[in-house]
Amino acid sequence: MGIDEEIKSVDKNARKPDVEFLPVRVSTFDDMIERRGIERGNTVLIAGGCGTGKSTFCMQSLYYGAMKGEKGVYLTFEEPAEKLKRHMWLNFGWDVDSMEKKKLMAVVTVDPFELARSVEAALMKQRGKLLIEISEMSMPFKPDRVAVDSISAISAAFVDNPEHYRTYLRYLFQTLDNYNSVNYGLVETEQEPQVYSRLGIEEFLSDGVVIFYHVKKEQHRVRAVEILKLRSSNHVKKLVPYRITERGIEIFESEEVFV
Ligand X SMILES: Nc1ncnc2c1ncn2[C@@H]1O[C@H](COP(=O)(O)OP(=O)(O)OP(=O)(O)O)[C@@H](O)[C@H]1O
Q: Nearest distance from residue 244's CB to ligand X, in Å? A: 4
193 lies in the site for ligand X, by CB under 6 A = no
Among 50-58, 112-120, 191-199, 222-230, the segment contacting Mg ion (CB under 5 A): 50-58
Q: Nearest distance from residue 47's CB to ligand X, in Å? A: 10
251 strand-pairing partners: 242
Q: Nearest distance from residue 186's CB to ligand X, in Å? A: 7
Nearer to ligand X, 45 or 134 (CB): 45
76 lies in the site for Mg ion, by CB under 5 A = no
Q: Nearest distance from residue 25's CB to ligand X, in Å? A: 16
d(CA 167, CA 59): 27
State the amino acid at position 50 in one-letter form.
C
155 lies in the site for ligand X, by CB under 6 A = no
CB burial of 161-195 (b: ≥16 within 10 Å; e: otherwise) equals: eeebbbbbbebbbebbeebbbbbbbbbbbeeebee
Nearer to Mg ion, 21 or 242 (CB): 242
Q: Nearest distance from residue 167's CB to ligand X, in Å? A: 25
Number of residues that bind ligand X (CB under 6 A): 13
Number of residues that bind Mg ion (CB under 5 A): 1
Choose which of 23, 41, 53, 241 interacts with ligand X (CB under 6 A). Answer: 53
Choose which of 43, 52, 55, 232 interacts with Mg ion (CB under 5 A). Answer: 55
138 lies in the site for ligand X, by CB under 6 A = no
Q: Which residues contact 220 (CB under 8 A, 6 or more apart)?
A: none
Among 25-33, 54-62, 80-88, 201-209, the segment contacting Mg ion (CB under 5 A): 54-62
Closest CA to 66 of 144, 140, 142, 136: 144
Q: Pick what 244 binds: Mg ion, ligand X, none; C-beta below 5 to 8 Å, kind-dependent.
A: ligand X
SS3 242: strand
Element (H, E) at 92: helix 81-92
d(CA 148, CA 184): 6
d(CA 244, CA 28): 13
State the amino acid at position 178 in one-letter form.
N
d(CA 178, CA 69): 20
Nearer to ligand X, 81 or 132 (CB): 81
50 lies in the site for ligand X, by CB under 6 A = yes
Binding positions for Mg ion, rule: CB under 5 A: 55
